[in-house]
Amino acid sequence: MRVSVSAQAVVFSLAFPFLTTAADDASYNASLPFRPNNVTLLHDPYYWVGSYYNGTTELKLMPYTGLAGNDSAQCPLLANTTTTARYDTILALTEPSIRNNGSDPVNAFLMLWDPGFDFSTITSFGWPLVDLPFLQWSYLSSQFVALPIPERLRHSPLPLQIQSQNWFYWELNTTTQSPPYRLSSTITTYYNGAGALRANMTNCTSTEIVPWLIDLGPWAPDNNFAYESEWPAMTVSMEFDGETANYTIRGYFDSYRIYSNGTSRSGGEITHGQFTLRFAGVLDAYHSDILANDTVTPTWLRTVGFNNNSLNIGYTGAAGRTMSAGSSVAAAFAALVLTQVVQLFL
């Protein structure tokens, strides 16, 4: 039996969108939120399916404000002052998976470096996100456990990661049926990020500007360094689409003077107050999958490693197809259709 060229085109257009160019990766598992291993230049922190945004984070510290306004134990020279620190930032919004222990619509990884950091120096494979070179501070909505190293990465001394326990849970505003997606959360558990968040503020005994260690969160150590709930819960909000992302954290902070010998909790120099941490960034299309624009919950069409988006890292121009998460059934259907197509040509 023979079919017309136009009919062949229609059948192939139905079948091929579910096929991928990641077939050379025998370990690829579409049920997990990872890119395939056929992109040889892919490195930290871009292993996850999702959107990546580059931008700046501004940390605004306001000592002696809110419930901390009458704390006489603070440094008096910091009263009525506002300090602002800025960081170069990558925000990764990634697809959750069966390894998450909640029902979050996304995993959010906020990673802060000092201004002017050269991101091209991050060429390691398989580092835990919290150990990325020169990373100052990170705030992750979920933590990680180890994943076996793919063949091409076995030279790395460290394993790849995969999401596990959630640090906090996102609530998705479902009043809209498409981007921009709006999410929020209230954080009451003890988690103040990873790394050492620092800012320069006035010394307690002079007008000298000195470094301070900043702890964000509702929990603070008492005199015996046992963490207790001292402040109200932090609030987190986020909005993103296929072009931009905004991420804001508000709450209270505790800070401790950092001395030349590296100690930070001595001498009685401490201050508290309110803070606002705000990120604004634009999409890094080179490292991002395509965010669908017609779904109630965030959904990505897998493109990095599938050779179907000319803006992506690793794109070579060969025929590629789009695969979304959970499309193994669709792929099986495509294989069946393709079998029928072959039979039509015989």
User: How open is the CA angle 126-25-325, to the nearest 5 degrees?
Assistant: 85
Which residues on neighbouring strands pair with residue 36, listed in sequence order?
A: none
**Could you tell me which of 183, 182, 186, 140 has the C-alpha nearest to residue 163?**
140
The whole-number pLDDT of residue 341 equals 33
List pLDDT tens digits, range 114-151.
Answer: 999 998 888 776 666 777 888 899 998 887 654 545 54
Q: How far apart (Å, rounded) are the C-alpha atoms in residues 250 and 36? A: 37
Q: How far apart (Å, rounded) are the C-alpha atoms in residues 99 and 163? A: 6
The whole-number pLDDT of residue 303 equals 95
Q: How far apart (Å, rounded) are the C-alpha atoms in residues 305 and 34? A: 10
List pLDDT tens digits, range 63-113.
Answer: 988 888 877 667 878 888 899 999 999 999 999 877 776 678 899 999 999
The whole-number pLDDT of residue 317 equals 81
Mean pLDDT, the chain, whole residue set: 76
Decide which of 16 and 244 is more confident: 244
pLDDT exceeds 60 at position 273: yes
- pTM attached to this predicted model: 0.80
**Could you tell me which of 303, 301, 300, 323 has the C-alpha nearest to residue 313?**
303
pLDDT exceeds 50 at position 48: yes
Are 160 and 187 contacting, i.e. CB atoms less than 8 angstroms apart? no
Lowest mean pLDDT among 128-142, 217-231, 267-281, 324-338: 324-338
Residue 18 has phi, psi (to 5 degrees) of: -95, -5
Q: In percent, how much of the chain has pLDDT > 70?
A: 71
337, containing H or E segment:
helix 328-345
Q: Mean pLDDT, to the nearest integer, of 172-180?
A: 83
- Would you call 335 helix, strand, or coil by DSSP? helix
Q: How far apart (Å, rounded) are the C-alpha atoms in residues 160 and 46? A: 11
Residue 52 has phi, psi (to 5 degrees) of: -120, 135
Most confident of 125-129, 199-203, 287-291: 287-291
* Band of residue 13 on the pLDDT scale cut at 50, 70, 90: very low
Q: How far apart (Å, rounded) are the C-alpha atoms in residues 222 and 231? A: 12
The whole-number pLDDT of residue 22 equals 55
List pLDDT tens digits, range 213-262.
Answer: 898 888 755 555 555 667 888 999 999 999 999 999 999 998 888 887 65
Decide which of 292 and 269 is more confident: 292
Supply the DSSP string of 70-132, one letter for each residue. T-TTS-GGGTT--EEEEEEEEEEEE---TTSSS--S-EEEEEEE-TT--GGG---SS--GGGS
